[in-house]
Amino acid sequence: MMARKENSAEYGRHVIKLETVKRYPIIVGDGILSGLEGYFDFSVYFGIALITDTTVKKLYGQSVLALLEATGKKLSLLTLPVGERAKSLNIVERGYRFLLENNIDRKGLICALGGGVVGDVAGYLAATYLRGIDYIQLPTTLLAQVDSSIGGKVGVNFEGKKNMVGSFYQPSAIISDVSFIKSLPPAEMRNGMAEVIKYGLAMDEELFRLLDQKKEKELNTAELQDIVMRCCQLKAGIVEADETERTGQRAILNFGHTIGHALEAATKMQALSHGEAVAIGMAAAARISEQVGMLDQGNISSIENLLSKFGLPIYCQGVNPDDLLSATRFDKKTTRGQTGWVLLKGIGNGVTNQPVAEDVVRKALMEICR
C-alpha cells in the first residue's frame, strides 16, 4: 500500500500528493528548504507564526526566519522547550496567548519547524486555535520526516499519559529537507532508524533488503532521500486508507509497539529511548511470529542483525518478563482485554489484529529479557 509519487519538474524533487479530507503535498529533497516559497503559496496568509524548539532555533532559526521574511508577511516566532515536556496543556496555553498577542487570525499560518514534539504541539495549536487554522510541517528529525509529520495526528500528553489529548488535523503541506538530518545526534538518528526498519519489516521487503545489503550503517544523502521518500509513501498510503484510525489498517504502523510501549512503561522510560524500546519490541514480535509458524527461523537472525547494525538493541536484560507481560495488557491498542498483535507473515508482510496465546508471548519475553 503505497501512495503515488510524482517527480515534479516544477520542484525538481520528489512529491507525493496525499488524498485525505484535505489534499496536500509531501515534498522530499536535499537542500529544498531554500526554495520554500516555490513549494507553498504563502500569498493567501496575513501572518506567519514559526514554532520551533530551542535546539532547532539555534541551528536553523535564523536561516528559516530569513526564508519566511522573503514572503513579506508579518512574522512571529515561538520557541518551545526541548523534548517531551513541551507536549503539555500549559505550553499549549502559552501558544494560544502567543498567537493572540501576535494577531494571528483565521488568515494566519503556523509553520512547525522541528521534530515530532514541535510538530505535535504546533499541529494541536493549529487544530484548536480559532477552531482551526492552516499549518505546514517542516520536519527536522528522521523520525518526524518518516513518521510523525505525516497523517495529521496532533496532540499533547496529559496526566502522565502520552498523546491523551489531541486531534486528527492534516497539515497543508509537508516539506522534508533531508539536509536537516546531518546535524542529528546519533541517538536521535537511531530513533528514526527504528521506524524506518519498522516500515521495511511490516510493509516493504525491498526497503528491508536495501538496508540489509548495506555494509555501513551510515547513509549518504541520496540513500537518505530515497528512504525518507519511500517511508512517506508507505505512511501516506496507510493514512489515505484509514485517516482517523477507524478501519484498523493504520494498526500496521504499530508493529513492535505493543512490547515497545510495555517496555517504556516497565522501565518508566528511563533506561530506553522510544526507538530502542520499539527495536526490542520488533525483535520480540518477530520471535512470536516465528513461534506461531508465520516466520522462518532464518528471518529472525536477519532482523536481529539489521537492528544491531543500526545500533539498536534486541534484548533488555534485567527487565522482569512478567512485568512486561502485564504491561502489554494495558497497551492502548488492547480491546476488551485482548491484545491484537501485529505479526510478520514473512518480511515486508505485516498482519494486524492477531490473537496470541499468553504462553507464546511469555516465551518470547523470557528470551528477550535473558
Ligand X SMILES: NC(=O)c1ccc[n+]([C@@H]2O[C@H](COP(=O)([O-])OP(=O)(O)OC[C@H]3O[C@@H](n4cnc5c(N)ncnc54)[C@H](O)[C@@H]3O)[C@@H](O)[C@H]2O)c1
Alpha-carbon distances of 160 from 26, 94, 212, rounded to whole Å: 32, 19, 37
Cell 510501549 appears where? 261
Q: How far is the CB of 82 from ligand X (least distance, A)?
A: 4
Dig out the grid coordinates for 151 from the structure: 497523517
Q: Which of 157, 191, 254, 299 is catalytic?
A: 254
Residue 83 binds ligand X (CB under 6 A) = yes
Widest Cα–Cα separation across the chain? 63
Contact between residue 239 and residue 250 where contact means Cβ atoms under 8 Å apart: yes
Distance separating alpha carbons of residues 76 and 103, to the nearest angstrom: 10
Q: Of 190, 230, 274, 287, which is the active-site residue?
A: 274
What's the gap between Cα 125 and its chain centre? 19
Can 250 be counted among the known catalytic residues? yes
Q: Residue 3: count other Cβ atoms within 10 Å of its Cβ.
A: 20
CB of 154 to ligand X, least distance (A): 6
14 is a catalytic site residue: no
Q: From 62-70, 103-111, 145-153, 168-176, give the range in contact with ligand X by CB under 6 A.
A: 145-153
Determine the residue type at 148.
S
Q: How many residues bind ligand X (CB under 6 A)?
A: 29
Subset of residues 180 to 219 that bind ligand X, contact rule: CB under 6 A: 180, 183-184, 188, 191
Tell me, yes or no, if 195 is annotated catalytic: yes
Q: Is residue 254 annotated as part of the catalytic site, yes or no?
A: yes
Helix (H) or strand (E) holding 275: helix 274-291
Cell numbers at 364, concatenated = 518470547
**Interface with ligand X, residue 53, by CB under 6 A:** yes
Q: Is 114 in the site for ligand X (CB under 6 A)?
A: yes
Nearer to ligand X, 82 or 294 (CB): 82
Does 151 contact ligand X by CB under 6 A? yes
21, 231, 258, 365 from 225: Cα distances, Å:
27, 10, 29, 35
235 is catalytic: yes
Report the distance separating Cα 128 and Cα 146, nearest Å: 25
Residue, CB closest to ligand X: 116
Query: Burial letters for 40-51: b for 16+ Cβ neighbours within 10 Å, e otherwise?
Result: bebeebebbbbb
Q: State the nearest-atom distance from the C-beta of 54 to ligand X, in Å.
A: 7
User: Does 147 engage in binding with ligand X (CB under 6 A)?
Assistant: yes
- Residue 84 contacts ligand X per CB under 6 A: yes
73 and 45 in contact (C-beta within 8 Å)? yes
Choose, from 14, 57, 230, 235, the residue flagged as catalytic. Answer: 235
Stretch that binds ligand X, among 33-41, 70-78, 148-156, 328-336 (CB under 6 A): 148-156
Query: Which is closer to ligand X, CB of 129 or CB of 180?
Result: 180
Closer by beta carbon to ligand X, 164 or else 294:
164
Q: Which of 47, 116, 313, 350 binds ligand X (CB under 6 A)?
A: 116
Cα–Cα distance between 302 and 190 in angstroms, integer?
Answer: 18
Catalytic residue numbers, as ranges: 131, 153, 195, 235, 245, 250, 254, 257, 261, 274
Footprint on this chain of ligand X (rule: CB under 6 A): 53, 55-56, 59, 82-84, 87, 114-118, 120, 140-141, 143-144, 147-148, 151, 153, 162-163, 180, 183-184, 188, 191
